């Protein structure tokens, strides 16, 4: 007899030991952890699900979060002090990069400063959820002529790219972008359209990396509850392997 019940598995069982490459765990410098206590409880929760390696990616967004390597470094130093006093976090290791908003400020920044990469030349970038920057092509081109490789954060969340076909996404790929999926996009957390496109991108083999984009503890609690069907887990496992190999 063919069972009508498809076996589902918890996603967290597949995430053990991975480096989380997108999160807002550093205290007090963006819309993520607001203070050291928030950061520590986020890290403790992550450690419960077997994640203790991080690349912290605070926002660099001119008007709202004008972070610099200095503000980020200071926040990490503060957090590292808290970690060193916490037995549960003795295996925790945090490197830092940033999540850059692709705007005019970003173009200016590229002219004068070295960007903070996730690793080597890979830079995590995002755009507004309302519209792409009018000079997106120019930004992506300049980024690459400066030797960087753009990793687009949560491509599934840009509703203005949602269409019957995936041509907008194919175009971004052709213009050099790697794609980083948010784990919570596998649930209706950001909306059912975002969820739908997360699976479409995944099913079409367009996702390169996965990250939590965790801002607060509820995000990890929701992540803990994610159960997936085998066919989706197979796709996710490929992305996880690629993420593990790279980071
Ligand atoms: Fe983020």
Class of the 8-246 domain?
alpha beta
| C-beta separation of 163 from 155 below 8 A | no
Q: State the pTM of this model.
A: 0.96
Q: Distance from the CA of 123 to the center of ligand 1, in angstroms?
A: 13
Q: Distance from the CA of 56 to the center of ligand 1, in angstroms?
A: 10
Q: Distance from the CA of 83 to the center of ligand 1, in angstroms?
A: 22
Q: Distance from the CA of 142 to the center of ligand 1, in angstroms?
A: 22
pLDDT score for 63? 86
Phi, psi (rounded to 5 degrees) for 39: -60, -45
Q: Distance from the CA of 111 to the center of ligand 1, in angstroms?
A: 24
pLDDT score for 239? 97
Q: Distance from the CA of 24 to the center of ligand 1, in angstroms?
A: 6
C-alpha distances in angstroms, 39 versus 25, 75, 145, 211? 5, 10, 36, 17
Residue-by-residue pLDDT tens, the chain, 247 positions = 555 567 899 999 999 999 999 999 999 999 999 999 999 999 999 999 999 999 999 999 988 999 999 999 999 999 999 999 999 999 999 999 999 999 999 999 999 999 999 999 999 999 999 999 999 999 999 999 999 999 999 999 999 999 999 999 999 999 999 999 999 999 999 999 999 999 999 999 999 999 999 999 999 999 999 999 999 999 999 999 999 999 9
pLDDT score for 5? 64
Q: Note residues around ion ligand 1 (Cβ under 5 angstroms).
A: 99, 213
Q: Distance from the CA of 18 to the center of ligand 1, in angstroms?
A: 18
Those residues whose C-beta lies under 8 Å from the C-beta of residue 177, and which sit 6 or more positions away, are 140, 150, 151, 152, 155
Tell me the C-alpha distance between 202 and 108, whole Å. Answer: 34
Q: Distance from the CA of 182 to the center of ligand 1, in angstroms?
A: 9
Tell me the C-alpha distance between 105 and 103, whole Å. Answer: 5
pLDDT score for 21? 98
Q: Distance from the CA of 7 to the center of ligand 1, in angstroms?
A: 32
Alpha carbons within 13 angstroms on the beta-carbon side of residue 238 total 12
Those residues whose C-beta lies under 8 Å from the C-beta of residue 127, and which sit 6 or more positions away, are 101, 102, 133, 136, 158
Q: Distance from the CA of 246 to the center of ligand 1, in angstroms?
A: 19
């Amino acid at each position: 007899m063919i069972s009508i019940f498809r076996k589902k598995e918890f996603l967290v069982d597949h995430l053990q030991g991975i480096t989380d490459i997108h999160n807002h765990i550093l205290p007090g410098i963006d819309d993520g952890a607001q203070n050291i206590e928030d950061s520590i409880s986020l890290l403790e929760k992550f450690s419960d699900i077997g994640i203790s390696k991080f690349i912290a990616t605070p926002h660099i967004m001119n008007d709202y979060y004008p972070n610099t390597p200095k503000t980020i470094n200071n926040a990490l130093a503060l957090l590292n002090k808290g970690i060193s006093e916490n037995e549960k976090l003795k295996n925790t290791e945090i490197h830092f990069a940033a999540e850059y908003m692709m705007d005019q400020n970003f173009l200016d920044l590229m002219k004068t400063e070295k960007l903070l990469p996730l690793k080597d030349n890979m830079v995590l970038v995002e755009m507004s959820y309302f519209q792409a920057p009018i000079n997106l092509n120019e930004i992506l081109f300049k980024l690459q002529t400066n030797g960087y490789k753009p990793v687009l954060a949560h491509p599934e969340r840009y509703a203005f790219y949602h269409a019957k076909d995936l041509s907008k996404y194919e175009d971004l790929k052709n213009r050099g972008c790697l794609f980083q999926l948010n784990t919570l996009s596998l649930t209706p957390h950001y909306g059912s359209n975002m969820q739908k496109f997360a699976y479409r991108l995944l099913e079409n083999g367009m996702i390169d990396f996965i990250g939590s984009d965790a801002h607060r503890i509820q995000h990890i609690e929701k992540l803990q509850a994610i159960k997936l069907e085998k066919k989706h887990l197979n796709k996710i496992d490929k992305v996880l392997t690629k993420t593990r190999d790279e980071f």
